[in-house]
């Protein structure tokens, strides 16, 4: 079975440390997934956002899963909201998985009531399990 191709959505200003951990895990040939995570560095409402959205959509269409790293500010991130909403659209249709980086972090609304698979903690095996259980969100 092919390794899942995972697009990672996270707050680039707050949670980049966790993305780096995923990259380190991904360097291990025994790890169960690979991912793209090139983040936007423009405001979602700027004139340059259309180019970023097109690039992110291309990456998402090449993926099989969306993994959302739910940080302290994720529920207010307009880019993360856009990524989650885009992942659920019929031309993308990604399987949804998420992990709260702290149990008190608020869940972004787009992950609620759509069958999101949750990792119980930010540990490699828990994330791999969540990805294996993930289903397309609607």
**The pLDDT of residue 3:** 79
Q: What is the pLDDT of residues 55-70, one digit of tens each?
A: 889 989 999 999 999 9
What is the pTM assigned to this prediction? 0.89
Confidence of residue 121 (pLDDT cuts 50, 70, 90): very high
Q: What is the pLDDT of residues 24-78, one digit of tens each?
A: 887 776 666 666 555 566 667 777 788 888 888 998 999 999 999 999 999 999 9
Sequence-distant (6+) residues with CB within 8 A of 83 are 7, 9, 56, 60, 66, 68
Residue 54's H or E segment, with its range, is helix 49-61
30: left (phi over 0), alpha (psi -120 to 50) or beta: alpha
Domain 5-136: state its class.
alpha beta
């Amino acid at each position: 079975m092919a390794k899942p191709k995972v697009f990672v959505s996270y707050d680039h200003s707050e949670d980049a440390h966790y993305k780096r951990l995923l990259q380190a895990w991904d360097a291990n040939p025994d790890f169960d997934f690979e991912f793209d995570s090139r983040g936007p560095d423009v405001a979602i409402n700027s004139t340059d956002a259309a180019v970023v959205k097109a690039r992110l959509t291309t990456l998402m269409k090449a993926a099989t899963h969306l993994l959302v790293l739910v940080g302290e500010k994720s529920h207010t991130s307009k880019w993360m909201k856009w990524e989650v909403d885009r992942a659920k659209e019929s031309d993308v249709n990604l399987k949804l998985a998420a992990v709260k980086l702290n149990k008190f972090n608020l869940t972004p609304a787009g992950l609620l009531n759509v069958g999101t698979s949750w990792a119980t903690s930010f540990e490699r095996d828990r994330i791999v399990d969540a990805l294996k259980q993930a289903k397309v969100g609607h």
